[in-house]
Chains A and B, each alone.
Chain A
């Protein structure tokens, strides 16, 4: 187990190192830097901007800048934000919490919907229930998250049932849980609707494969009840691809939530990352991407651990 985990962790660390290196190279390749935009301000002199560039080490060669950043990143400091004059970690932490506040419930709800409905669709694979699910998932797959988020905003504006954006009401001090939940409903709904389609299809496909197997037919022939058959026998046997998908869906939901956050003014990583990309706030972009990669790596690691316990073949191989 320890060897298996260490190998997985080493892969993750290598991935993070590769991503950080690529980010530095891409940032360097992109024309201009954070301070270039300020040069069009007639009230600012080139000399002042040069001084600011030097202060943040932007006048140094790329390898030197990367080595310096890597050194501080290993100590837990992801560098400063040029725009905020704050350490990136300080800036990202409250936003990561806000992003997880959307993506974790959305992830759980999506799976809680996808598993029973996918099993049911597989059980009734030629019936009308399956046809309804099939049509609905095709429609959901065709709808981009952006459109779903815009429709949700429109719904909020027309009905006044839910707030049109943000995390708290304008005059709310941010301490009301009820207010927070009310603001979470629409973005979580959009994320769930956007992600449940592929999950449902995957559950259905895996379950059908199991249901076609001889041992499942034998269990069926022995007169076992539907619930026992589906949840006791079909689900554990179909779990392998689903567990792998669970790790990937964590990363997928994170990227989808970034889009939804921007449209619905949710103060998570999305708006910050978008602004940092357009503003070339180098270390914020790098920090945000690194943390997203880390969450993806952790999601996959969790999936690997679950697979280790669920699948005896992996235990034997490792």
Chain B
């Protein structure tokens, strides 16, 4: 027989408090963000394909794109970069103000918000999040962006909803580094962090109820290697203009489809409803059936990826790799580099490799970067004649068989190292080979697997010229410092320079350092424009082309506004809705 236990005062108190704690905070002081987008219908499921499975759900350690795509739908940041305008806008931070130098930021948080498990969000979560990201022992990839002058930022709680961030020196891109830095729930992660196991938490085997964020969706289910299902977060903090809580979709499903071609096949078969990135070839193929296939294709314009040729100017090859050291005599001559640049038909690259869906480049900044592109720098013209004149002026000549020779009579030839797994770059290398043949330069294309090629460029320096591509993750010049500054970690043309090897590199270093501490955008723009002008003039890297961002979505999906920053099509997943009110898709 069951015994009846007496009702204790603490039980009575709990009963009295329970309804209050379960009640949604909207009625009280909930500081929601109203967005002005076409109003939609709630409901429906959206299935998206990903080229590989997300590796983790832990924002502290995630580096791969599929993981980040999922995590960014489950979490939120203080300040967000609007992918359409490329400018910062308030997110979890209701407002912020900085001091005149731009080294301190006081952030006012939205009040009354809750994590997806219903726990309240306060300044303690913000302080905890930055404590984790900045901890050297954690090795979070986010940490590097939070350093100014090599020192980490300081984070102080000024009140339950006020946090102060201080850098040791003015830090111009400070607002932008908050973008995509997920605010972590202290109540769920503090224990793991204290035990030194923060890197192991929130992996693909963690149960859904142990993961919470402030994003529009929360985890529902993981089927390893196959799919990951997110469901609507009922505590989300954005509404449409009619006060309807976003997101509209009930579920967002990420399906793992390993190849891009297979993604197109499954999209055409109706098994997925979005392709995040379509290759130019597939775009052309899909274009023909756009009407009958009941889908729409989107061309968001040139993205932030830039492809380039880089000459090996590393000093350490002397003695170690004599054949390369000998060729460096040509590569170090600015006129030789410019002649090579003039001999490359960039328009043909865009036409042949990207089927016309891309742009030729003069600098690493594509026209897609609305804030930093310098339209005054012209794209190098295609002129084999001018290239020949330049080479002649630099002391080169042509032998009887038409091959270019240097002043000592040595025929000019070099190899272009390229990642053989990247079809588009391999095609570019072949086109360049043809172009340079016209001015008497014999080029060999050396295709190597991605890591082998990267190892040669970054570690052994055993290459002559490399054809590579880099992505500018954020439309801001500061991350570019690792490539452009002479002491940068991936200063590709001359790795590990102790001091700038040339006056123009010294000038780039000075300008890049200055832009980093200049709070005024217009002044920063002038400084970075000058950097771009130097790069276009000196051509240590010959910038080639940037592909357009191409995406596809099934008919009936509304509020689709593809952008060139990631995630190209899901960045506003909270605003997407199905045209049919029932959302039966």
Contacts and interface: CB of A to CB of B under 8 A. Distances in A.
Given A165-B257, A267-B256, A31 B451 contact: yes
Contacts of A32: 451-452, 454-455, 459
A157 B204 contact: no
Contact of B451 (A30, A168, A174): A30
A117 to B, nearest CB: 33
Interface string B468-485: 101011100001111100
A84 B47 CA distance: 23
Nearest to B63: A38
B525 interface: no
B203 A174 contact: no
Interface in B242-266: 251, 253, 255-259, 262, 265-266
A83 B58 CA distance: 12
A30 B448 CA distance: 12
A255 interface: no
A272 B251 CA distance: 26
A95 B61 contact: no
Interface stretch (B20-28, B139-147, B503-511): B139-147
B271 A164 contact: yes
Given A85-B55, A173-B221, A168 B227 contact: yes
A37 interface: yes
A160 interface: yes
Contacts of B451: 30-33, 36-37, 280
A95 B144 contact: no
A150 B483 CA distance: 42
A42 B226 contact: no
A55 interface: yes
Interface residues of A, number: 55
Nearest to A33: B451
Interface string A251-273: 00000000000110101100110
Given A32-B455, A43-B473, A90 B205 contact: yes
B205 A86 contact: yes
A91 to B, nearest CB: 8
Interface in A120-168: 153, 156-157, 160, 163-168
A163 B271 contact: yes
A42 B483 contact: yes
A85 B203 contact: yes
B269 A164 contact: yes
A89 to B, nearest CB: 11
Nearest to B468: A40
Nearest to B251: A171
A6 interface: no
B52 interface: yes
Given A43-B145, A84-B204, A265 B472 contact: no
A169 B253 CA distance: 11
B454 A153 contact: no
Nearest to B147: A45
B103 interface: no
Given A267-B224, A271-B225, A45 B144 contact: yes
A98 interface: yes
Given A86-B204, A166-B255, A271-B225, A153 B452 contact: no
A174 B265 contact: no
Interface in B442-466: 449-452, 454-456, 458-460
A51 interface: yes
A41 B47 CA distance: 29
B45 interface: yes
A104 interface: no
Nearest to A46: B489
A28 interface: no
B272 interface: yes
Give the one of A33, A46, A265 with max B CB within 10 A: A265
16 contacts: A40-B454, A42-B490, A43-B474, A84-B55, A85-B61, A85-B199, A166-B226, A166-B255, A166-B271, A170-B47, A171-B45, A174-B227, A267-B224, A267-B256, A271-B258, A278-B421
Interface of A: 30-33, 36-46, 48, 51-52, 55, 81, 83-86, 90-91, 94-95, 98, 153, 156-157, 160, 163-171, 173-174, 262-263, 265, 267-268, 271-272, 274-275, 278, 280
Given A43-B144, A46-B489, 19 more contacts: A33-B451, A36-B454, A36-B458, A37-B451, A39-B489, A40-B470, A45-B489, A84-B55, A84-B203, A84-B204, A98-B225, A164-B262, A164-B269, A165-B271, A169-B271, A170-B272, A173-B221, A267-B223, A280-B451
9 tightest A-B CB contacts, nearest first:
A267-B225, A32-B451, A31-B455, A170-B47, A267-B226, A32-B455, A46-B489, A51-B139, A42-B479
